[in-house]
Each structure stands twice: as C-alpha cells, then as structure tokens.
Structure 1
C-alpha cells in the first residue's frame, strides 16, 4: 500500500485529510510540522507523495520545499493552504510543488491530485533509471527489487562492485540479469566507464572472434579496414557477455586467455594487445551442466564462476509485481500518449495469479500491449486476453470481450452517452468498535474479534497468534474457551 505523508499543524484538518487518503486506498502518515516531515522523508525515501500545508509554526511549507530541493528529496508534493494569492501559487510551483489547492478541498479533487502526482513520480523514476543506465551510473535504487528474494542478489552485487572479480549471473531468460550487471558496474570504481553488452548467442559462429577481439585489414575476405572488437571498446570499463554458454569451443579458448593474461589478439594481428576489462557473464542455462556434457570448457567455467549470483524468476518475487506494473504503465502510457492511471483490482488479481514463464520481459511486453489496447483510464481484464486465455481458457476470453462495453451500432455524436467513470471515493469503512445503533461494543466483544482476526491472519498458528497479540499461549487458550472459539481450532493448530 502506497504511503502518503500528510503535514498540517491543524489537528482537525490533519485528521480529515488523512482519512480521505485512507479511504482512497493509501496509507497515511501524519506530521504536525515541517521539521518532523523532513525527518520522515529522510528516513523513508519510499513515501509516495506528501500533502503539505504552507502555514506552520516551526518550519513553513516553503521552507520544507526549499530544504527538499537542496537535499535532493524527490517525493512529489501537493501544497494546500488557506491563502489563494497568485504569488503564493507561483512560489510553490517554482519550489517544485506538483499541485496546489485551497482549503477546503473536495475529496475527489484531492484523490485525483494524489494519483496524478504518484504517476508523475513513477514516470520520473523511470526516466532517471534510463538516464542512469545509459550513463553507466545505474545503482540498486534504480531497480525495482524490494522483494525478499532479491535481498541476496543486491547484497552480492554490492560486494562484487568493490572488486574486479569475474561475476557469473545465472537465471531464467527475462529476469533482468543485465540490470544486475549494470548495478555492479554503476556502484563500483568503473562507474561512468564503457559498459559493452555482447549477446553471444546472436553472433554467427564465423564472426564471433572478429566481433569480440577485432581484426586487422586483410585478415580475411571483406576485411577492408582495421576493426576494434568489443573487448577493445570496453577498455577500462566492463563487458557483459550475455548467454556466454553459446560461445563456440574454439572461441572459449581465446576468452580464457583474455581472463588469465588480460590481453587480446585481433585476427591478423602480429602481437597481442593489453586490455583492462571487467568481465561479467550471464547465462540462462547451468554452465556446470554444460561443462559436464563437454559443451563448455571446464577450465573456462571455473574462471567465470568465481563469484556466482542467481537471479530469481518473477514468480519467486511477486512482491515486486505491483511496482513493476505501475512502472511499465507510467512509461508506456507516456510513450503512447494515453492517460492511463493504473490497473483495476480484477486485472491485478489476474496478473498476480499468473506464473510468468517469460519473467519481467514478458510482463513488460504484456503491459505494453494492454496500454495499446485500452481505451479507459484503468487497465481491465479484457486488456490482457493472452493471459486470460492461458490462465482460464479461450471461452473465458470470449466471455470477457463480450461483456466489455461496446456499441452494437454506430452512435451519432449528438446521442452519444457519457462514459462511465469510476468513483474515486471508496464507501466509508464500518467502525469496528461501534455497532449499527451507534453504541460502543463491549471490551469482551472487541477482544474476541481481535483474536478471531489474528487466528485467520496467521492461518491458525497459535504460537504466532499469541506472539502477535502479546499474550502467552496458555492465556490465549483460556480466552478461546472463554469466548467459545476453542472447538476445532486447537485440534487444527495441533
């Protein structure tokens, strides 16, 4: 759930704004002053947006914006104030505010502003990541990798960046192995230096040596001039050998010499040339199995596999799915010139239940296709027909398409109905402590509901339930008997 920081010294306005954000599906964090807001932003760089009051006693809103600009805090800011002067609006926008409104503001206006600000921030992050990738300064903060399965990958990448040790990245196709290689380069001493990518499986066998090591004029028919190879282009930088297991055996011998001696021998050259290159290789097949079968030189395998990193598939890092989808929606919607705000809950559930055999690359192409197909503000289930077909069958695709709103005949512009719009404000959630008659529930009833919720949340694991509730297991079992919950639960937990 995206966090929203609400900053206001008025406790009533603070509570109202936070409640609007909460009902819209955001997780509000509150602060009563500018200094407190800055402290929160410095500690948590993943706050989605901030709603900032301009007039506050300790540090006003303009001061907060100035400090954020000076310290490089990029959280999008929506300014609210009781002062509607044009000068104030211009000053706030110049300081970097994404939006501005005057109190009191309608809930619909606030929610739309929040969504637009977060979409803008997602797009800016995508642009920053692309710029970092091209400039050779790509870091772990530029990659969407908050899933627990990615923690070891990022930790190993940070260690590999501190040396020039050969790195082998193994993982299924489309998982993002090249991005890991760019993190290693972008956080090490070779940041900003050349990063040369070579797809070893896409080079014709008769041209592999020429592409990698270069050639001299007249070395073979058609060699009309000297040509530097990829290793020479990567001098003082990094070379990324993608699908290194596809290299021919005779080329593997020369690659082994490069790794051992740090020198290349272009075709037709009379003497070798020294190169200073960091080698990072990747493969979607187990090199150890290829070495055992004789398809890959065993000595080269041990030379490349000095520092192995395994890249988990997307199905093992589903926690990143929502952020990846939001990233691709912002990026491709901007490229296609469409106003797509997000994805519907039903479509999100569909994508979350899919196994993604093509991993992040397949997800990227799927979202791109959906952006092209959609005509609405949110991606719907019918925008992913291929995923529906693979998950639920062809009949479900036809049913989803048939249910989509589509005119049966041409509709004249004068009689065209208004487009159905989603209500941005969710219905108010019932108060857990107040009954329908407005009376406060008894303490025992509230405690019973908390125990039932904890049991359901932790899947009946009584040790976890007791730990979460802050009571001992004996006390928990006593309360289960007291509230008539013991039958069936204790036997299931055992």
Structure 2
C-alpha cells in the first residue's frame, strides 16, 4: 500500500473496523488516539498522510477543536468525520469547521470505505484548486460576483460604493461564501488597484508572532501593503495585542504610525472578513469594541449558497469552463440532471465546496459532458445512491514497441542502441519517450532511477499538475510529493 490514513479514535473495536475499511479502500493506517496530545504527536508528519479519519470517540466538540487546530497547518490532509448519530446541524457545523465529509458510524463498512475514497479524491484536487484560484483571483471584478438574487446584488452594490469611497470594510458571512473574492474585487474596483493587495490569514498567525508579522518596521505585512489594501481574513481570531495596534492605527494614524514606523507613515486601507457573529463576540468581550465599530462603517453580508440556489447552475457552468480551460480538459457541458442534483444539495461549504466539486469532476471525467455520476460525493450527501464506477486513479496505459528503436545517448542511465522505447498512450494519442531499462554497459538500471524518470516525464507532460501526474502514475499525491523530495526534483520534474 502506498498511502496512509491517520485515524483519531480510542475505542479498540472502532479502530479495528476503521483500519479494515481503510485497507479495503487501498490504504495503510496509523492510529493517533483521541487524547489531548494526539494531534501534537503527528503534527510534524501531516504531509505523510493522504487523509484523516476523525472517529466518534472525539465527540462533535472534539472534532471541531481538532479541525480548528489544523487550520494553521498548510499541509493538513482532508478529514472524514464520523459521528454517532446523523443530524443536519452536526453535519453543517463540522463541514464549516473544515471536515471534507461527515458520516454516521452506523452507515456501515461499505459506506465508510466509499467515503474514504471520496475524501481521498478531495486531496487529489486541493492544491490544483488553490493554484487555479490564485491565477484567476487577481482579475476578479465586482460585476463577476453578481447573481440572480437580491442578497448578492445588494452585497455587490455595497462593494461598489465601498470601492469608490475608500472606506474600511467588514465582510461577514459563513465560511466559503466568497469573502476573499469580494475583498479582491473591492480592491480592484478602487483607485488602489495598481497598488499591493496583501492578505493575512489571521488563523495562521498566533500569539506574539502576530504583531511581528503585521507590524515589523520593514518586513511586516502592514508595511508591505502601503498605498494599497490589507485584507485581514477571519479577523475574529486576531490576537488581542494585534487588535490593539490596528485599533490605535485607525484612531490616531499619524502618531501610531510614527511610533511603529518612525519617519514613515504607510497609508493602508483595511478590509476584514469574519465568519462568526462579530457583535456577539464584542458583547462577550472576545473582540475589541472600538475596532469592531471602526470596521463596521461599511458592513457587507454575503449570503450562503443555499440561499442562492438560482445562481448554482450559472456558477457551476462558469467554474466548469474555467477549470477545463486551465487544465486542458475537453469538458463542454453540464447535463440538466447534474444541474438538478447540484441545485438540491445545501452546500454547507458554500462556494469553496462547489469549486472543489467542479474541479474534481473536470479532472476525473472521461466524457465531454458532466453528469450526476461525476459528483458521487454530492449524490451521497444528498441522500441519493452513489454510482458504481471504477476509481479514477488509474495509471496511464503502457505498451512495449520492440520495432521502434531509440538512438544511443551518452551519460549514465542513457538510452542504448537497440533498446525499445516506452510509449505512453492517453489523451491525444501515443507519445514516444525514452525511459531506458539498461545502462550503456548493459546493466539493469535501479527501480529508483527508472521511477525518477517516470515522475519527471509525468510532471513535464502535465505541466506540473500534481493531481494529474499522480493520477496517471497511479499513486497518491502525498506519495508523489514524498518521492519528489526523495529524488531531489522540482514541481516541473527538473532536478534541484
């Protein structure tokens, strides 16, 4: 087995059942337990795991706390949360906390095995989603965010006003509703568009480090945003010391800026987002009242996707076209049955979840039209039977062509005269490549050398896409990352 599942569970019977499910799905397992130190014991090794299973032994509160702790870890694998009993409120809470999927333990081994495979597919597309979103986000406009419903139109209208008037903005709404995109669009629609847009993920800067990250005299993010916009994402978790600095900068900008930056006064516009009820946090003493009211001059609330059902078809088609163009996949349409399926689902992860599902479907579909079977996770969560389909992680077909001879090359591990090349057949026809089996002296090359050549080939052919390279090689993304490090390669297949 080439991939590991990390299981957080303390009950011996449940552990045995989950290990067996993981094995059926094609994974080996490691058990971390459920005690307070379980996460700390494996935090440095998260990249080794393809996914996590959070068992019922953690409790709903325990799962939420663990997922919250993982939000600061960029390499954290996706999580399957298993609960004692299924409740819509619990599912929504855990998916908002970061679970990729939520399933009752009573669903049985077959359902859990299928869920493990679905969550693993999420891991295979996650970094590609970040890469593609990074390419497109810089060009986002406020008009691009309009929808058919009043709630989103109202939010866009407020965003346009905020962009013109240069006021500070507080964006509110559930996780995944598009607050980042709105912040970028407001910046792009203002006269600061040519200046820096600096994003700070407040959940990833903790304790005393936050003030240094933000307010270092020359390297701090506040200084880097001078003349432009500083976006404080999830400002509700910003440490108190940093809250004080920002509040005083807004209240007495000249004096405070001189104290921090000496003779220089960086002029910065603040955009902030929050996923929790900020007024309730203020009343509970968990967030500074003065900072809240200074940011709340222009509050913009973004509706969840379940309140924008009339927009889902258009959003899905737009994402399908964008992802197909970016990945080079020939996907042309979305069937009406697929549109109906997507419209029935509640999307607790909002736009982020829809983006992930559309990219997964685009990457893994062999047909030119996306149908309900290309959304097995949505079908399962919407209560529909999951289609029976082969797992998409299939290696490219290989065939030997003895009649085709490769020329000799000089150097270790080169092709030798009379040696057959290997032809990879796939989309676009066969491509002849030389992956030699023997050295110039006729000795068999090591498996490690041949494997490194295959990884170089896959990364080059699929333009550095880890998802597609891993899929074609028939291995998991975490395995591919590990081998790239072991062989000293970069993401394009070259040597470091």
Q: What is the TM-score of this pair, normalised by structure 2?
A: 0.49
Q: What is the TM-score of this pair, normalised by structure 1?
A: 0.49
User: Which has more radius of gyration?
Assistant: 1
